[in-house]
Amino acid sequence: MQLVADGNSTIDISNITGASPRTIENHIHKLKNKFKCKTLTHLGVTLLRGKIIK
């Protein structure tokens, strides 16, 4: 999630981590479900407020 917060796209994260873009999208989707967030922005704010990412 830190990579998303830093402004990286799914493709960028895929290149950095070596995982496929679809895998990255799945992980983001699972995080949104876990934290009950509808948007990526809401997820980012939730994780920042919870001090999960910096």
Q: Which domains does the chain have, with CATH numbers?
A: 2-49 (1.10.10.10)
pLDDT tens column, 1-54: 788 878 888 999 999 999 999 999 999 999 999 999 999 889 888 888 887 777
Residue identified by tokens 């990526």 is 40
User: Quick check: 24 and 30 in contact, CB under 8 A?
Assistant: no
Can you give the three-state secondary structure of 1-54, one letter per residue?
A: CHHHHCCCCHHHHHHHHCCCHHHHHHHHHHHHHHCCCCCHHHHHHHHHHCCCCC
Amino acid 48: pLDDT: 84
Rounded to two decimals, the pTM is 0.77
